[in-house]
Amino acid sequence: MPLLPDTSAPIIFLHFPSTLILLCSTCAVTGGHALLLNGEYPWTYDNDLFGGPDFWGLMHKHWRMCKLGALQSPINIDPTKLIFDPQLGKLRISQSHVEAELWNMGQFPLLTLATKNTTTTETGGGGEKRRDEQKQQQTVLNIAGGPAHPYTYQMQQIVVHFGDVRRGERGSEHTIDRIRFPAELQILGFNSDLYDNFTQAQSQPRGLLGIAIIIEIGDRTNAELHRLSQATKHIKHRNQMVRIKRFQPAALVPPTEHYVTYDGSMTYPGCFETVTWLVFNSPIYISIEDLAQWGELVQSEAAESEAKTETGAPPPVPLSSNYRPLKASNGRALRTNINTRLKSVSDGGQCPSRMYVDMGYRTNPARTDTKVPSSPHSSLSRQEKSADARTKRDQRQLKPNRERVTEEEVRMFGMEVTDQMDSGDPTESDQEGEAADLLAKTGADDHHPNLAVNNCAVPSMAFDECSIL
């Protein structure tokens, strides 16, 4: 029995001419649908309104990257374009508990974490005084290792993105092989080695680290995610806040060391291209009941909602579909620490799959194979559509003798990968020689997404049921 409602039915969105949107922008703002950032500029995730993602770059001079940037996020993670990087180590995250505040921002729910504060006292007598800085008992949550190396990032905030829960819409920002997930949790931290605070770092080189955690439907909700879900009952309306004591952000991280990383941007205005993104290759889980709690949030303030109820006006607009449309990858490197070794094929040959891998998607057995719906929030860019067409054309040129992975191999693959990694990796020179031989045999150019060796295509890889890729 599927855990999610049927999402295969088409969802119809209305597309209005841009001229009409501009003419009606004033009524949209006054109607409460386009919300304010810092009390000045209206912005929303609804592309049918002036202030939606397509207009972010036109609304403020500091938001120009939303329209002009070439390294924007989120993107689709294409498993065929992953590059294994042996230098990517394990990500280290502070395990401490902190006090946090969960806010309804009107556009998305935001969890802010307690930061380090200092107080200055003067001691001594006479004309001689000594100034001491005493740190208060606030714990700083640091992130280091992995793509963050050699810097340390201080965890600052957590954002949750989801679709229209009542309609069964999936709302993750990043997609895997064009598949969108029910929700996505993003942990953001700033580079505390180079900058003093999040505001300063967000517009500076190597300023931010973003950890994207996919959320799937399951029988039991992740413990800390359950606490957040229950806390949403106290922040139904915009600008409402609830405090959460002894919150452990590290408990939101899935139990895996595998991830994909790329250089990107913030996914809300001003879209600064200063974020090193890390997408874990395993989801955390949320129950249908807890996910429904997030769907109860609305964009308007409490007083405004009460006034609408008394006058019989339309009900408050839900705080949903709060994810940015996909952006073109523009040739960005998708590096990973997932080490896929050589795998035998039916004819006895070997297909190198260290750098060019067509990974099959296997995760929650209850997941439907619904691709990203055709909607303003999930439509692909013109560049990505062209890249897809080239990939399909190239794949038709390969001989159809791909190895099929059995169900037993699917269940055992995670253990196989671990055992292979423990047995020792090839040296860097071996990898270079392997790549050179590969190109010599195929005569393939640099743009070929799937390379063929000894008349065999790169085998389709399937990870264990807890993996995303």
Q: Is position 195 annotated as part of the catalytic site?
A: yes
Structure tokens, 123: 């001691």
Dist CA 3 CA 12 (whole Å): 23
For 147, phi then psi, to 5°, come to: -70, -10
Handedness of CA 367, 372, 374, 377 (dihedral sign): positive
Q: Which of 45, 195, 259, 262 is catalytic?
A: 195
Q: What percentage of the chain's residues is helix, strand, coil (to nearest 5)? A: 25, 25, 50
Residue 411 gets which letter from DSSP?
H
Contact 450, 394 (CB under 8 A): yes
248 burial via Cβ count (<10 Å: 0-12, 13-18, 19+): middle
Q: How many residues does the chain have?
A: 469
Query: Peptide bond before 325: cis, by omega within 30 degrees of 0?
Result: no
What is the four-CA torsion angle of 451, 456, 459, 460, rounded to 10 degrees? 90
Q: Judge residue 302's burial from the number of C-beta atoms within 10 Å of its C-beta, 0-12 exposed, 13-18 middle, 19 or more buried.
A: middle
The CA R_g of the chain, rounded to the nearest whole Å, is 24
Q: Which residues have a catalytic role annotated?
A: 195
